[in-house]
Structure 1
């Protein structure tokens, strides 16, 4: 069960006893964050063996070493690739070496500030549609997580395949949900460190829906090639003409599809989670919610937020940042050491698993004042936060390419909703933070909705 005191929002009860191999398997299948011991919120590094050697790192300097200084020596773990590979291939998220570098060089201009700001009207329209749906639930409880999934999927669908001709959104959405639910769970073979060629049967049988999703995406890409770009370029148009400035290589259909599916899967899931947790936190602290509502109403009146409104919404942005600290969507990362190294005096051998428990890092007692408390003011202008103590989007060369897109979308939608509605907690309906692939509120986020 999640735990919380009257003064703090829900948290995952971290372990206090060694789990062993079978205990680790059960915890990993139930909630990956239960693999993190409570001492990880106090210690800079932990090491152990559970089938294979592992190191859990919570020290900002060591994390900088892994993510920025020696990034090529710490690629994403094989378990990560086994889970995500069938869905998103060798896209930016999982590719390594030169194959990653040329894709990153090609895609980086797509996510410039100008291009991201140009996509803001899609976010504003989605916020308006969300207002209309929530208005129908005023006076009763609503699952705001389900609503945020709908809103953010509309955004990512519209900015990826604008117009949606030939793009079956329901097929894609259903395939994503099935894939996350069935194939992202840890297997005993993962815990034991079995080589990647040993089949994980639940992933083989659970990936059939992804084949349908890939066909839908391939057909949409080929149709766009034939028809030409939209009057206002969308993400697909931008990627179709993107090229590596060093080699002039462009993405073929399979590479385009894998990267588009990466943006679709990650783009709507992580932002929906951020918004759902942010609304839960606003309901948890009515005073913060009222202050954010006053800010939003002063800036927006009764219209949806736009990119131009962002400078007038600092508290809304702080709430988003604090939601990402307390409930980071990517709350548990892992790398595989490719060479011998030393981390904080611990020997790291080639093949060791290096775990980056972002959930524990964001609640570390040496790095954060009152770490389990909801306090958006910690992100106010002038507050100093160690860059590698706060990693909702990672860092270094492989920092999330869509971070600015996600933050812009989250602030636009959150401000629009807070200006129009008041959200209050429902007694006995605290959400339960559970991580399989992302940190989701199991059972949804149920809040009572009233007009502001």
Structure 2
């Protein structure tokens, strides 16, 4: 059987759909409603219940995300889906309420603090490598392994030393909420107010209440009994204050932001790693080159935060995986004022989407856009800024981007230096986005010791 020339992709729409067909498709895979033409045009508009625009032009995107940020707040659909889980945290808040939280939280993700948390990432990389080695040469669902590894990291950097914190319960509650409430509700699309019950959220309400209660208890306990170790995420947030107003987060605000960081801080990085490993298995030449780089830098040890600048090709693989499979494959805004984008009228109330999946595969912006080519990122200055948005951009760029990239490079370099990954026939992942772009069915790869290495990592 001849290997495909391009890695897996989402089949996009080639004909107009009505609202019910679009809604049904979106509940199964949000990206499936993107028209194929969006990969070949700067902007596509239509009406499905309400007017919408998909924008792939970098200059227009800059206008939305930077120049007229307040005129394009996050869409009501996005807020309605996520508010029950993460409240008015950084991800959802707008205007002054967002600004003071961002100012208070920004120092948490400084280069110094991210580097201080590097040993936790190294331990997680060692543990993941050990699990793969210990299982023996066999097919491994690396998507599940990467979720476990990144949840180990985020729970350790969030609640280090809190043995009473039920990490598994929080993880189960997050997964339950995403599974039940993440699917777009018809009520959300039609703009019904928040107080109209959504069936999925009723089903997951108990799990959410338990998760919030566990987090509140942990926050209050840390206030009463701070620890003396390297400050973790909770310590840093407890100490954080808005430098302009001196305001600090109360327990509810701390909890909502912590839960935001837990959700965003483990699943998105896990997905990046899973897709990176799939792509390395897809292209053995890329994998061999990455392994050579990792071994030259690491020898037999696991990667550390300090190694990241010396692993440029592995970083390029991560960048290319984020281009082909961005965890947030589409972002949505609601226009507040009249505007013109790409010569087209935008009215107040219009939904303005940036389909990052289509932007990253737009043939006007990328050569052989569906191909896996890490060398695209050898010169990052050659990449048009608003053509590549895995973490968004403008003032609302992902606050944890440097944390996520360091973690991804540390774990990927460690795994590739020690293991060879090859595809499992008939087990190709399917890219499906509900809230994030996941590999449906998992990423099943044969994992064997690389070039005769046979070690079991602690």
TM norm structure 2: 0.96
Q: Note the C-alpha offset of 1:310.
A: 1.0
Q: Note the C-alpha offset of 1:322.
A: 0.3
Tell me what 2:320 maps to.
Answer: 322
CA distance in 2, matches of 1:107, 1:350: 32
Tell me what 1:396 maps to.
Answer: 394
Q: Is the 8 A contact 2:116 2:230 kept in 1?
A: no
**1:147-186 → structure 2 map (5 Å cutoff):** 147-186=145-184
- Could you tell me which of 334, 340, 343 is aligned with 2:341? 343
Q: Is the 8 A contact 1:307 1:408 kept in 2?
A: yes
Tell me what 2:258 maps to.
Answer: 260
CA distance in 2, matches of 1:32, 1:21: 13
TM norm structure 1: 0.98
Q: Is the 8 A contact 1:156 1:264 kept in 2?
A: yes
Q: Is the 8 A contact 1:42 1:364 kept in 2?
A: yes
Deviations along 1:359-414, one digit per CA (max 9) or x if unpaired, are 00000000001000000000003660110000000000000000000000000000
Q: Is the 8 A contact 2:80 2:188 kept in 1?
A: no
Q: Note closer, same or farther for the CA distance 1:426–1:383 as it changes in structure 2 (3 Å cut).
A: farther
Tell me what 2:285 maps to.
Answer: 287
Deviations along 1:196-251, one digit per CA (max 9) or x if unpaired, are 44332222322321110001100000000000243211010000000000000000
Tell me what 1:85 maps to.
Answer: 83
CA distance in 1, matches of 2:410, 2:125: 7
CA distance in 2, matches of 1:185, 1:416: 35
2:97 is the alignment partner of 1:99: yes
CA distance in 1, matches of 2:233, 2:256: 13
Deviations along 1:74-117, one digit per CA (max 9) or x if unpaired, are 01011111111011000000000110000000000111111111
For the residue of structure 2 that corresponds to 1:56, the secondary structure is: strand
Tell me what 2:57 maps to.
Answer: 59
Q: Is the 8 A contact 1:52 1:193 kept in 2?
A: no
Q: Note closer, same or farther for the CA distance 1:382–1:239 as it changes in structure 2 (3 Å cut).
A: closer
Q: Is the 8 A contact 1:51 1:193 kept in 2?
A: no
CA distance in 2, matches of 1:337, 1:255: 27
Q: Note closer, same or farther for the CA distance 1:305–1:85 as it changes in structure 2 (3 Å cut).
A: same
Q: Is the 8 A contact 1:21 1:191 kept in 2?
A: no
Tell me what 1:431 maps to.
Answer: 429
- Could you tell me which of 23, 46, 50 is aligned with 2:21? 23
For the residue of structure 1 that corresponds to 2:216, the secondary structure is: helix
For the residue of structure 2 that corresponds to 1:54, the secondary structure is: strand
Q: Is the 8 A contact 1:78 1:196 kept in 2?
A: no
- Could you tell me which of 288, 300, 303 is aligned with 2:301? 303
CA distance in 2, matches of 1:295, 1:188: 49
2:433 is the alignment partner of 1:443: no
**1:116-195 → structure 2 map (5 Å cutoff):** 116-195=114-193
- Equivalenced residue count is 449
Q: Note the C-alpha offset of 1:5.
A: 7.5
Taking only aligned residues, the RMSD between alpha carbons, in angstroms, comes to 1.2
Q: Is the 8 A contact 1:325 1:392 kept in 2?
A: yes
**1:220-299 → structure 2 map (5 Å cutoff):** 220-299=218-297
CA distance in 2, matches of 1:206, 1:369: 44
CA distance in 2, matches of 1:278, 1:202: 32
Tell me what 1:419 maps to.
Answer: 417
**1:38-49 → structure 2 map (5 Å cutoff):** 38-49=36-47
Q: Is the 8 A contact 2:7 2:279 kept in 1?
A: yes
Q: Note closer, same or farther for the CA distance 1:382–1:214 as it changes in structure 2 (3 Å cut).
A: closer
Q: Note closer, same or farther for the CA distance 1:164–1:443 as it changes in structure 2 (3 Å cut).
A: farther
Unaligned runs of 5+ in 1: none
